Chains A and B, each alone.
Chain A
Amino acid sequence: MVSVSEVSRPIGIARSRRSFLRRTLGRQEFWRGCVAIVVFLILWEIGSRSGEWFGYTLPYVGLLPPPSDVAVAWSKVLMKWGYWESWYQSFKRVLTGFIAAQIIGIPFGLMLAVNKYFRDIFFPPFEVLRPIPPLAWVPASLIFWPTNEMSIAFVTFLGAFFTIVINVLGGARTIDVRYLRAVQSMGASQWDLFWRIILPGTLPSIFTGAAVGMGITWEVVVAAEMISGGGTQGGGGLGFFIWNSYMGGSLPQIVVGMISIGIAGYLSSTVIRMIGRSAMPWRKLF
């Protein structure tokens, strides 16, 4: 008689039954993070107000607007239409460039991975263009594209495109050959190999590429908005919001713009992570 005693590893399934909020509030990590942010804000406040409070202005930190001033400035712009318009404009540009980069980049990367001739032809020019920083494209694209808006979208697209392609290519090329062989033995066609093995096997890399690419699009969009001037006051986006505040000499408002971009980027990558988790249920188990 053979009796096998084995236990499947307990994996956080019971945990997911509790609500997201209670889960978050019940975690030590969450509170540690909160404390860290509060301590950081207090130190910043003390540093910025050092001249006012102790009569000695600390170097560098003393020049920053204190967080309380930033909060006041923020509460003022929150009421203004232009601030939200900036959010909308930047998000629109990021999404346009990002989605275009996904739509073109994922098939392009997969083609590079599965077809040798395609790779021989397109990989060398791709590798020459890849090291060019997206911002180096700004002047050329301002000339090339008819509108400012299109140039910004194009530069944003470039920011995400190269990262996405490299990730997809790498991911698809490192799929374990045993998976391909196993299903080939079972009678899989090239079509089956692609849809059932290569594509799902590349998903983790697609989402890594998306997360990194999203970060780059935010960097690029803000810089592009500053350079191109972004059009009218309202339609400038968050990058132009910062530039405008700088020109207007409003230090706290610069910081408001910076933190807004931080929040926008964080929201974007959270959404990508959430989509990634639901698209790859098997990955929760790692």
Chain B
Amino acid sequence: MHRQLNNTDQPASVASLAGSTASQASVEIKGVCKSYGEEWEQQDVIKDLTLDILPGKLTVVVGPSGCGKSTLVNLIAGFERPDRGEILLNGRRVTGPSKDRMVVFQETALIPWQTTYQNVVFGPKLRGDIKGKALYQRAHELLTKVGLQDFMDKYPLQLSGGMQRRAELARALINQPQIMIMDEPFRGLDAMSRGLMQEFFLRLFEENRHTNLYVTSEIEEAIFLADRLVVLSNRPAQLRTVIDIDLPRPRHYQVLSSPEAFEYKRAAMEILHQEAMRSFRPSATGRLPGRP
């Protein structure tokens, strides 16, 4: 089945669907620390992390695998609380999960016992903020946008990997979040679908310019997508550097073969490589570093 995803004669853009005021949201992460484990053998996962997520920008966080990226996502989403420091959304302290901060999870977290449509309308239906025909229309528009209008009544397991990710994007967007948090969303896809999904996601972003935090462990993906590239250290995660990626938008995949992109990649790789090498050294307690 072939479907044009960025239909130019599509009247309703996602930007208009999701509301334009939301794109001004910013997140400040101030001196956040997080550790796990019992008191006598605490493992620091995030140590004194300070970072601004700028409004209307696509901030991409890269770091060696197991460095605490997912923990950072959980903290911003409000699933967990920082031990020290604070996270502010538009100046207001984050205290728990909310529809302001929607997460698109690793693999996918579509609810298996609900059809694509039921998954997408789950949030609005729960809160009752959009109802009846308007809800159906909005869901249908979004599903058309992601090319799934013919798969509304399918269960997630009947969809291919790429379709599941797009359904999940639609499910997050319908809640009109202030910031979208993407936690390695396209991990587990084959290289082909992955490339297509990256381009698709980029089209969506370039259309509506929502504040976006995208977490990945792949440097090429990061440079291709990012306005700002945040490089984290090995665990415990600390800020290593922030690189402004000044590549033209709208971006196409060819941009990765430009000399500028190559230079960004070289710079980021150098830091990441140092960090990745550090993770091969046994930690101070003699245990091998593992995933959080």
A1-42 interface mask toward B, CB cutoff 8 Å, 1 = contact, 0 = none? Answer: 111111111010000000000000000000000000000000
Do B103 and A181 have beta carbons less than 8 Å apart?
Answer: yes
Cα distance, A186 to B172, chains bound together (Å): 9
Do A184 and B5 have beta carbons less than 8 Å apart?
Answer: no
B: number of interface residues (CB 8 Å): 42
Do A8 and B159 have beta carbons less than 8 Å apart?
Answer: yes
Distance between A172 CB and nearest chain B CB, rounded to angstroms? 14
Known: A8-B160, A285-B157. A2 touches B102 (CB 8 A): no
Cα distance, A178 to B151, chains bound together (Å): 23
Which of A3, A8, A184, A203 meets B151, CB within 8 Å?
A8
Do A2 and B6 have beta carbons less than 8 Å apart?
Answer: yes
Q: How many A-B pairs fall under 8 Å by CB?
A: 104
Known: A185-B99, A187-B123, A286-B157. A2 touches B203 (CB 8 A): yes
Do A285 and B155 have beta carbons less than 8 Å apart?
Answer: yes
Residues of A255-281 at the interface with B, using a CB-CB cut-off of 8 Å, are: 280-281
Distance between B79 CB and nearest chain A CB, rounded to angstroms? 5
List the A residue with the shortest CB-CB distance to B3.
A4
For residue A52, CB closer than 8 A to chain B, the reply is no
Residues from chain B with Cβ under 8 Å of A127 in the complex: none
List the B residue with the shortest CB-CB distance to A189.
B126
Which of A181, A186, A285 meets B122, CB within 8 Å?
A186
Which of B3, B123, B160 meets A3, CB within 8 Å?
B3
Residues of B73-87 at the interface with A, using a CB-CB cut-off of 8 Å, are: 77-79
For residue B163, CB closer than 8 A to chain A, the reply is yes
Do B200 and A183 have beta carbons less than 8 Å apart?
Answer: no
Distance between B93 CB and nearest chain A CB, rounded to angstroms? 17
For residue B31, CB closer than 8 A to chain A, the reply is no
List the A residue with the shortest CB-CB distance to B77.
A185
Residues from chain B with Cβ under 8 Å of A200 in the complex: 113
Known: A178-B105, A183-B122, A285-B158. A8 touches B163 (CB 8 A): yes
Do B79 and A181 have beta carbons less than 8 Å apart?
Answer: yes
List the B residue with the shortest CB-CB distance to A5.
B2
B residues near A (Cβ < 8 Å) are 1-6, 77-79, 97-99, 101-103, 105, 109, 111-114, 122-123, 126-127, 147, 151, 154-160, 162-163, 175, 193, 196, 199-200, 203
Please list the 8 inter-chain residue pairs (A to B) with the smallest Cβ-Cβ separation, ordered nearest first. Answer: A186-B123, A178-B109, A282-B155, A184-B97, A185-B97, A182-B109, A2-B5, A200-B113
